[in-house]
Amino acid sequence: MTIATHTLGCKLNFAETSHLQRQFEKAGFNIVGYHERADIYIINTCTVTAIAEKKCRNAIRQAVALNPTAVVAVIGCFAQNGAEQIAKIPGVSIILGNDQKHRLLEILTEQGFKPSSAPRVETDEPKSFQLSFSGEDRTRTFFKIQDGCDYFCSYCAIPLARGRSRSATIEETVSMARTIAATGTREIVLTGVNTGTFGQQRGEQFVELLRRLDDIEEIARYRISSIEPNLLTDEIIDFVSTSRAFLPHFHIPLQAGSDKVLRLMRRRYDTALYASRVGHIKSVMPDACIAADVIAGFNGEDDETFALSKAFIDSLPISYLHVFPYSDRPNTAALRMPERVPVALRKARSQELHLLSNHKRQAFVESQLGKERTVLWEHSLHTDSTGNTMQGWTDNYIRLHRPFDASLAGKVTPFLVEKSTIVDNFACED
């Protein structure tokens, strides 16, 4: 039988989808592209914004159109929070929340791999944890080390979809990292919903995990995909600055450059703490790449507040932004707040921040011109106006290209950053 998967949302979802694919391949299934006719379609969904949910619904309808007799399984965050909406879409056979999705093969076996007239729905509160990692890229993998969140920010539905913070032990996580290393993977990106809370329920510390992972010499590089500013301690920053394999690349959610808005969002830091974290990184790693998440148009963000927030962001030595217009999420505290910003204004402010991000991104890359950085070269062959090329990321997250050389694929080499070697005119990957 054939299976096609489609993943929306975060790096965590991609790691989980890969885990499922390996289960099905081991059971004898063939994986085909999502645009092909398949016997089973698996859609791993996202609920972070209304747009993400719309994309999920479109992906479901696409699967049904490709093969009306296929089994269509919808799993993940939107399945957890929006099962009733999904159940109304004709052709859906299975809806599994985040605690049940890893049982998909077992559930399909029970049903004889046949579609059902009414969807089977299982959306119990997420409590279990499954280590997983992505496997499509032979040089780099996303490694899920943590799930869930205890913070309940006023705008966010993810704790409702993924449950409380939880993780495996340090020993179990290191053991899985060694399994990843055995596949030949050279770079691991540590992912989670609230990565910095790793191990807290067991009295273990995230920084201790980092130290243990750094000892696995078969892995050349690690990146921390995202970590809250209140959890990014000086100890972690200083460790990264002197470690063997952890790279000078940080993704630190900001969400707003206004203390007023941060309080309304129920974030656990203020702008002063955020600025101090960024400042400390740059003091010990001057060439570090720093990304920040920002939400435009949250409740209470008037024109003056937005101007101050934008000025604060502009003042920081960060490298680029992930910008999102505020999106109402069901069952969140933000829905009950006054001073709502019109949708059109949210989009306009989002566009302003995108332009600021582009400016910062270009300034950061230009600051690296003429410097030699280490690059992990990928296996893929690209063809452009200069001929056959290969691409890779510097340690501080600038995408470069060079003439293709198969002997360099999967290797880390020093390389000079020049305008002619930069991919996409200073564009970094979001």
Helices and strands per DSSP (H, E), number in the chain: 13, 20
Cβ neighbours, 10 Å, residue 184: 10
Is 360 inside any structural domain?
A: no
pLDDT for 163-172, tens place per residue? 999 999 999 9
Banded pLDDT at 424 (limits 50, 70, 90): confident
Q: Does residue 429 lie in a domain region?
A: no
CA distance 246 to 225: 11
pTM of this structure: 0.93
Average pLDDT (24-42) is: 95
- Tokens 């993977």 map to which residue? 185
**Could you tell me the maximum CA-CA distance found in the chain, to the nearest angstrom?**
63
Note whether 107 and 40 are same-domain residues.
yes
The answer on 185 and 239 residing in a single domain is yes
Asked whether residue 71 falls in the same domain as residue 139, the answer is no
pLDDT at 138: 80
61-116 residue pLDDT tens: 999 999 999 999 999 999 999 999 999 999 999 999 999 999 999 999 998 998 88
Residue 25 token pair: 């391949």
* pLDDT score for 137: 77
pLDDT in tens, 309-327: 999 999 999 999 999 999 9
Q: Which of 131, 147, 226, 221 is nearest to 179 (CA)?
A: 131
Strands (DSSP E) contained in 196-244 are: 221-224
Residues 95 and 181 reside in one and the same domain: no
Is residue 48 in a domain? yes
Give dist(CA 52, CA 77) in Å, integer: 10
**Do 110 and 23 belong together in one domain?**
yes
Q: Which residue has the tokens 């989009």?
A: 347
Instruction: Please give the Cα distance from 201 to 213 (Å, whole number).
Output: 20
User: For residues 30 and 247, what is the distance between their CA atoms, to the nearest angstrom?
Assistant: 36
Same structural domain for residues 98 and 116?
yes
Range(s) of the domain holding residue 144: 129-251
Q: Report H helices in 77-169.
A: 77-81, 83-87, 104-110, 158-162
Q: How many residues does the chain have?
A: 430
Q: Of 122, 156, 184, which one is at a domain's C-terminal end?
A: 122
| Number of domains making up the chain | 3
Is the pLDDT at 162 greater than 50? The verdict is yes
Position 91 in a domain: yes
